[in-house]
Amino acid sequence: MNTLFGEKKEGATKIVLTKVDEYPEAPISLGTTLSNFTGDWRTFIPVIDDSKCVKCYICWKFCPEPAIYIREDGYVAVDYDYCKGCGICANECPTNAITMEKEEK
């Protein structure tokens, strides 16, 4: 698994606790950030227009979650398990290749 380039992150499962006894005694993380599916929080969703993208990877650098990854062809894509819809990528993209659209659930 390459967590920086080339592919979507794999192998992470979302941890869902359904009974109080399953909780740890102290509030600590039960997994890495990969198991924290911040994609649940999203209202807006980034949509990338490859024709405007100049592969500068500013969006990849600024994204606060492990949500943007770089595809084999060099363009960027979004891992929707983690994209929380904050819009930082759209705001930072120098060519306005990313737009935030209201997500239909």
Partner 1 sequence: MEYKPIRKVVSGNYAAAYAVKHARVEVVAAYPITPQTSIIEKIAEFLANGEVENLQYVPVESEHSAMAATIGASATGARAFTATSAQGLALMHEMLHWAAGARLPIVMVDVNRAMAPPWSVWDDQTDSLAQRDTGWMQFYAENNQEVYDGVLMSFKVAEKVNVPAMVIESAFILSHTYDVVEMIPQELVDEFLPPREPLYTLTDFDNPKAIGALATPNDYYEFRYKLAKAHEEAKKVIKEVGKEFGERFGRDYSQMIELYRTDDADFVFMGMGSLMGTVKQAVDILREEGYKVGAAKVRWFRPFPSEELYELAKNVEGIAVLDRNYSFGMEGILFTEAKGVLYNTDAKPLMKNYIVGLGGRDFTVDDVRKIAENMKAIIEKGELDVEVDWYHLKR
Of 3, 29, 91, 95, the one binding partner 1 (CB under 8 A) is: 29
DSSP tag of 78:
E
52, 96 Cβ separation under 8 angstroms: yes
6, 60 Cβ separation under 8 angstroms: no
Residue bearing tokens 């990338």 = 48
88 binds ligand SF4 (CB under 6 A): yes
Least Å from the CB of residue 32 to partner 1 = 8
Of 1, 3, 4, 23, the one binding partner 1 (CB under 8 A) is: 23
Residue bearing tokens 């894509």 = 77
* Cβ distance to ligand SF4 smaller for residue 12 or 93: 93
Binding to partner 1, residues 61-100 (CB under 8 A): none
